[in-house]
Homo-oligomer: A and B are copies of this chain.
Amino acid sequence: MNTLTIGTPAIGGTRYKEVKQAMLAALAAHEWKGGETIPSEKRLAERFGVSIGTLRKAIDELVADNILVRHQGLGTFVAQHQRDRHFFRFFRVVRADGDKTYPAVSLVSFKKAKATRELAALLNIETGARVFTFLNQLALHGEHVMTEHISVPESRFPGLTEAVLRDRPSTLYNFYQDVFHINVVGTDERVRVALADEAECALLGVAPGAPILEIRRIAYSYHQMPVEVRISHVNTEHYEYVGTSASHDEPL
């Protein structure tokens, strides 16, 4: 197996950056899949011809990027989307009092369509290429307060059907990972005010024309590859969008 021998520097400048890129390449090539363990640090250090310390520095960054997860005594794993881990890193709607809860998702519609020029540009695919588009209605604490219009390219989700989507056992991003080996590792989001249209107001529990929160998201896999476009609408009467936090002081 070609291990991207790192004899020639030139690319990354430093050894550990080269190692990091080589590991990202291995991840993108599905050599290690979501939830799987990767080889031990000792083995990887030998494979890439660096010391343990250098290899660890590469992994440090991949862990900081939420791409890998370390477990002492067990090994290092490809980060996996799970209900109880990282879910609220991507689901950022909470009740006004701060209470976080998992949404109950209902699939409202599902269809295959051609990408508009706009959508194609966001997904970095050809205009007119096939995409799957579906609509979710979400309930929090039993209240219907949110919808999601989601589009993914057929090329990266071959064989996706309404049935398999509806019957997925876990979260959507976990489903992407397990079935299509698509790892969502980051998103860009923009938030603005919009007005509920006739079709949506019933799903959101608001009157037609009522102001709602609109969140437009692009989700990325490794190497900033866009894999999903999502427009969410939220009735913010009792729920809010959580913006950026920061500062990770340790608890004393």
Interface of A toward B, CB cutoff 8 Å: 11-12, 17, 20-21, 24, 64-66, 89, 92, 96, 185-193, 195, 211-213, 215, 217, 220, 222-224, 236, 239-250, 252
> In the complex, what residues of B have CB within 8 A of residue A236's CB?
191-193
Q: Are A222 and B246 in contact (CB under 8 A)?
A: no
**CA–CA, A224 and B252, complex, Å:** 11
**CA–CA, A24 and B239, complex, Å:** 35
> In the complex, what residues of B have CB within 8 A of residue A65's CB?
246-249
Q: Are B66 and A64 in contact (CB under 8 A)?
A: no
> In the complex, what residues of B have CB within 8 A of residue A242's CB?
188-191
Chain A: interface secondary structure?
Answer: mixed
Contact of A243 among B17, B66, B92, B220 (CB under 8 A): B92
> In the complex, what residues of B have CB within 8 A of residue A241's CB?
190-192, 243
Q: Shortest 8 CB-CB distances between A and B: which pairs?
A: A186-B247, A189-B243, A211-B211, A186-B246, A192-B236, A191-B241, A190-B240, A192-B240
**CA–CA, A65 and B24, complex, Å:** 24
Q: Are B11 and A185 in contact (CB under 8 A)?
A: no
> In the complex, what residues of B have CB within 8 A of residue A12's CB?
250
Taking the closest CB of chain B, its distance from the CB of A110, in whole angstroms, is 26
> In the complex, what residues of B have CB within 8 A of residue A186's CB?
245-247
Contacts A192-B236, A212-B193, A236-B192 given: A244-B244 contact, CB under 8 Å?
yes
Q: Are B191 and A191 in contact (CB under 8 A)?
A: yes
12 contacts between A and B (CB under 8 A): A64-B248, A66-B246, A89-B244, A96-B190, A186-B246, A186-B247, A189-B242, A189-B243, A190-B240, A193-B212, A193-B213, A217-B243
Q: Are A223 and B249 in contact (CB under 8 A)?
A: yes
> In the complex, what residues of B have CB within 8 A of residue A249's CB?
24, 65, 222-224
**CA–CA, A241 and B188, complex, Å:** 11
**CA–CA, A247 and B191, complex, Å:** 19
**CA–CA, A20 and B239, complex, Å:** 37
